[in-house]
Amino acid sequence: MSAIRVDGERVATGVLAEVAARIEARLRAGLPRPHLAAVLVGHDPASETYVRLKRRDAERVGIATSDRRLPESATTSEVVDLVESLNRDPEVSGILVQQPLPPQVEVEAVVAAVDPAKDVDGFHPLNAGRLLLGQSGLVACTPAGIIRLLDEYRVPIAGRRAVVVGRSNVVGKPVALLLLRRDATVTVCHSKTTNLAEVCREADILVAAAGRLGLIRADWVKPGAAVIDVGVNRREDGRLGGDVDPAAAEVAGWLSPVPGGVGPLTRAMLMANTCRAEEARRPG
């Protein structure tokens, strides 16, 4: 048996087309274009690449973008001041604070400074709390993208056993909450989990978000399971690899590859969140 390859590029293209159509309809109704403002502190090369890709996606769907830059030496209060000015700017629909921030900048203070209504990353404590309480709010892009992938491939969620490997605030915890919201029975694993292999073998849906190359072995995968590989790791030869041994494709029912699985969805969901933030602000 060979797993169905979960094609993130294809699903992301669909999400972007939906967003483009919603924006087009708003423009026809005389409403302004959504606007995504990115905050960049210093010159992290990976951040520059991510922001460039996000700008390209934004152009494709009709979202205006702007970059606000601060020097590597910026203080927490300088970054917070910039974020607050974007909160007040009526032109700005969504604010993206590109991480990593330099070590002297308190990430929590900056994230908490973002207006929750413009928090298109879904990292603000209010939006995280809404997710916990089952209320509607802006949801972090990677977890939202994972659910979208499962839905696109009609993977049943309700009543199924889901195992999430990783408990970060940006991936593991929110995806576990989204799976719970969809009536999965969810187990969250982390670096102190004992018998990780056995727990993984119980999963109908296995989300690997540990950031450890090849951690999940093929014989940890239940035959027919949906395996979503979130990990992005650098192999010795420089290529990217996931947390799941590619040989799992012989066992799984569905497998999302790295690269080409979750990554494109993360960026597409950012566009969807920016559009949603603007729609909530100016319903039209």
Interacting residues with ligand NAP (CB under 6 A)? 142, 165-168, 170-172, 189-193, 196, 209-212, 215, 230-233, 262-263, 266
Q: How far is the CB of 255 from ligand NAP (least distance, A)?
A: 14
**86: its two tokens:** 């974007």
Active site residue 54: yes
Which is the catalytic residue, given 121, 204, 229, 243?
121
- Closer CB to ligand NAP, residue 44 or residue 78? 44
- Closer CB to ligand NAP, residue 216 or residue 277? 216
**53: its two tokens:** 């890709």
Active site residue 81: no
Q: How far is the CB of 263 from ligand NAP (least distance, A)?
A: 4
Active site residue 98: yes
Q: Give the β-pairing of 35-41 and 64-70.
A: parallel
- Closer CB to ligand NAP, residue 94 or residue 172? 172
Q: How far is CA 136 from the centre of its chain?
A: 17
Q: Helix 141-152 and helix 8-28: axis angle, to 10°? A: 110
- Closer CB to ligand NAP, residue 189 or residue 251? 189
- Closer CB to ligand NAP, residue 34 or residue 214? 214
Q: How far is the CB of 267 from ligand NAP (least distance, A)?
A: 8
Residues 214, 239: contact at Cβ < 8 Å? no
Q: How far is the CB of 177 from ligand NAP (least distance, A)?
A: 14
Q: How far is the CB of 27 from ligand NAP (least distance, A)?
A: 29
Rounded to whole angstroms, the Cα distance separating 37 from 55 reads 10
> Would you please indicate which residues are annotated as catalytic (active-site) residues?
54, 98, 121
